Amino acid sequence: MARGPAQATDTGRERIPRKGRVSGVSGATNRPESAGRPSLTPPPDATAPARHPDAPAPGELLGAHYDQCFGCGEGLPHGLHLAARADEGVSVTAEFTVQPAHQGAPGLAHGGVLATALDETLGSLNWLRRAIAVTGRLESDFLRPVPVGSVLYLSARCTAVAGRKIYSSAEGRIGGPDGPVAVRAEALFIEVKLDHFTQNGRPEEIRAAMSDPDQVKVARAFEVNP
């Protein structure tokens, strides 16, 4: 894989050498396209991801992790309403129909919305491992424009785990599950405890979530991760 001047630090995040920066151009660097890659490559001691014994069988729907989630929640009219299905191993599929509310240019999906669809699909993989994790890094490629009304056929798989770091990749095809790839992403998710949400989320939503028995059930299922 081509590597630019970015160097991996001992934390896995890359540092751009001073001499690599473009001076005199406001906000610009000559950061190469490959700059993000080092932290998305599993370290040598990474292991293969393992499915939780209670993970849904291949073909089963995973269900939303939170009713108000923009990606998977059913409670938001303009959300993506992504419904991920377990696949073999630690992998999932999902479909997303691009709505007029998701436009960037006339008649085309907004790139940020497509990145969200990839992020959500990747995030749902963690349910198969019963790990609570948040996106640390998401690198997306947009290969084809995605028209409003199209169905994006998404698939994602977890590739490796190293401590709290979870490596995964996803792609979205249009025109059918075997159609051309329109978007793809590689991601690094970081495992967190439930208190990541309870300590950082706005209190009114946290209170509402904690008094919703269905939500508490989801949170408990994560907590009994062996």
Ligand X SMILES: CCCCCCCC/C=C\CCCCCCCC(=O)SCCNC(=O)CCNC(=O)[C@H](O)C(C)(C)COP(=O)(O)OP(=O)(O)OC[C@H]1O[C@@H](n2cnc3c(N)ncnc32)[C@H](O)[C@@H]1OP(=O)(O)O
Using the minimum distance from each CB to ligand X, give the nearer residue, 142 or 222: 222
**Does residue 131 bind ligand X (CB under 6 A)?**
no
SS3 220: helix
**What DSSP state is assigned to residue 39?**
G
Which of residues 11 and 26 has its CB atom nearest to ligand X in the complex? 11
Distance between CA atoms of residues 156 and 12, nearest Å: 23
CB of residue 186 vs ligand X: minimum separation in angstroms?
A: 11
Which of 172, 197, 155, 186 is closest to 66 using CA atoms? Answer: 197
Among positions 21, 164, 193, 207, the unique one binding ligand X when judged by CB under 6 A: 164
Residues touching ligand X, count (CB under 6 A) = 31
Stretch that binds ligand X, among 16-24, 51-59, 98-106, 133-141 (CB under 6 A): 133-141
Q: Which x/- pattern, by CB under 6 A, does the window 109-128 give for ligand X?
A: ----------xx--x-----
Residue 138: CB partners within 8 Å, gap ≥ 6?
115, 118, 119, 122, 185, 186, 187
Question: Strands, E, within the chain: which ranges?
Answer: 7-8, 14-15, 85-86, 91-97, 133-142, 151-162, 165-174, 181-191
Residue 31 as a binder of ligand X (CB under 6 A): the answer is no
Tell me if 41 contacts ligand X by CB under 6 A.
no
Separation CA 88–CA 73 (nearest Å): 24
3 state DSSP class of 9? coil
Q: Least Å distance between CB 219 and ligand X?
A: 4
Sites of contact with ligand X (CB under 6 A): 11-13, 39, 65-66, 71, 119-120, 123, 132, 134-137, 163-165, 188, 190, 192, 194, 197-198, 209-210, 215-216, 218-219, 222
